[in-house]
């Protein structure tokens, strides 16, 4: 199964090869979606973890034991369909084509399963129709 989590690393952990440890010790694959990490600073990484459910839980327990903050909050993009004027601006920045304009109706389509919650679309909307649930 897959879990998307936000990890907050203390300064001493920022240089640690966490994805290697997750793969080697827990057989958990880590796909980094977004990272804000700088040397000697607290780091934040949004990551999708894939593996066996028990191994995933063990991996998260290990991360917590290393003082890594683990947030399982289910982050989502919200589109206000009442406000959207279907201008298509947001589709130009979406890296996964979760946002697209229907070629026939020219209406905005949002395919949630493709969205990686990178938030790049949020500031592009001229009518502030895109927001997050956090
Ligand atoms: S959050 Fe990112 S992936 Fe999701 S719809 Fe917006 S731009 Fe696309
Ligand atoms: S940028 Fe905003 S108004 Fe334009 S299509 Fe996207 S959500 Fe709709």
Query: What CATH code is carried by the domain that includes residue 49?
Result: 3.30.70.260
Confidence of residue 74 (pLDDT cuts 50, 70, 90): low
DSSP one-letter code for 23: H
Please tell me the predicted confidence (pLDDT) of residue 14. 63
Does residue 47's CB lie within 6 angstroms of at least one atom of ligand 1? no
Average confidence (pLDDT) over 109-123: 88
Q: Last residue of a domain, which of 71, 99, 121?
A: 71
| Cβ proximity of 123 and 130 under 8 Å | no
Nearest ligand to the CA of 94 is 1
Question: Could you tell me if 12 and 58 lie in one domain?
Answer: yes
Task: In whole angstroms, give the CA distance from residue 13 to residue 30.
Answer: 16
Average confidence (pLDDT) over 7-23: 82
Does residue 115's CB lie within 6 angstroms of at least one atom of ligand 1? yes
Question: Could you tell me if 113 and 67 lie in one domain?
Answer: no
Q: For residue 85, is pLDDT > 90?
A: yes
Show Cβ contacts of residue 126 under 8 Å, excluding neighbours closer than 6 positions: 85, 87, 89
Tally of CB atoms within 10 A around 124: 15
Ligand 2: which residue has its CA nearest to atom 1? 125
Task: In whole angstroms, give the CA distance from residue 28 to residue 97.
Answer: 27
DSSP assignments along 55-90, one per residue: HHHHHHHHHHHTT-EEE-----EEE-TTT-----GG
């Amino acid at each position: 199964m897959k879990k998307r989590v936000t990890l907050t690393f203390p300064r001493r952990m920022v240089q640690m090869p966490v994805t290697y440890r997750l793969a080697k010790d827990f057989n958990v694959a880590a796909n980094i979606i977004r990272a804000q990490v700088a040397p000697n600073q607290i780091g934040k990484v949004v990551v999708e973890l894939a593996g066996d459910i028990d191994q995933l839980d063990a991996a998260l327990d290990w991360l917590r034991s290393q003082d890594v903050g683990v947030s399982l909050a289910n982050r989502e993009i919200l589109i206000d369909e009442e406000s959207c004027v279907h201008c298509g601006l947001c589709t130009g920045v979406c890296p996964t084509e979760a946002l697209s304009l229907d070629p026939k109706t020219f209406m905005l389509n949002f395919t949630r399963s493709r969205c990686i919650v990178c938030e790049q679309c949020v500031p592009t909307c001229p009518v502030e129709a895109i927001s997050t649930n956090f």
